Structure 1
Amino acid sequence: MGACPHCGVEACEAKFQECLDRDFADPDYGVVHHLTVGAYMLQHSRYLDENVAGTVDFLLRHLDRAPGESAKRDIRRWTDGPRRVARRGEESAPVPPELFWPSSIGDVDLTTADSYRASVRRWAEAVARAVRRTSQGCDW
């Protein structure tokens, strides 16, 4: 199978699914769902290019606080709206050139809700900052 070309983690998608399962099963885990999804999607180049900067800003604004109900409705309208925000499964997602990921889903600790939230926050911040640094002046 090999390591993921986007993040370097073996079976990263399975780990992502495990995180989503926890997010939906336990609200103490799910409070960082917005960070889990955003970090994974950014790290795996799943968002369309025009949505990357907004996602980075959103993650950095919501590291320490979940989005309010109004923001959640806006996100749902955005993701379910008439314009696509993510690449479709058949579309090839480019691997950002020479991007060093200081953290990945492999660093997420699922043992307790506290450790999960802390590790997801660290991962989301690292990904958002790396994308911001790399995307300035880089077309990928």
Structure 2
Amino acid sequence: MRVVLQRVSEASVTIDSNKVANIGNGFLVLLGIENEDSQEDIDWLCKKIVGMRVFSDANGLMNENITSFNGDIIVVSQFTLHASIKKGNRPSFIKAAKPDVAIPLYKAFIQKLEIELGRPVQTGEFGADMKVALVNDGPVTISMDSKHRE
């Protein structure tokens, strides 16, 4: 399971001209799911996301996490995070989980993140053509892969 975590001052998701998610300060989480992913991957990533100390404290140092900062989160499914570009110029998405595997894991990820955060998170819509807008704050962008916990 892979995520790209972006600290934002604002972010939104629009589907068919309808804004379905909108936050101010917080995280935009792009989530890619593989066939081999499990609840263990979800648990590890959600704990990391909520514990990530990348928000400024009173001294301007990145010491606050999303809960102490009282920020919000949007989660957007993005199978392209598992693109393979080993051969040619057309990406292969063979490692990305198909919807029958990915949707239950996507829903479990959101549920676990809400438990860790202590409040609801906003989302895009799995499989939809979404327009994601954001203002990356910092910029702070962190990629995490539950299979490579370095």
* TM-score for the superposition, normalised by structure 1: 0.26
User: Higher helix proportion, which one?
Assistant: 1
* TM-score for the superposition, normalised by structure 2: 0.25
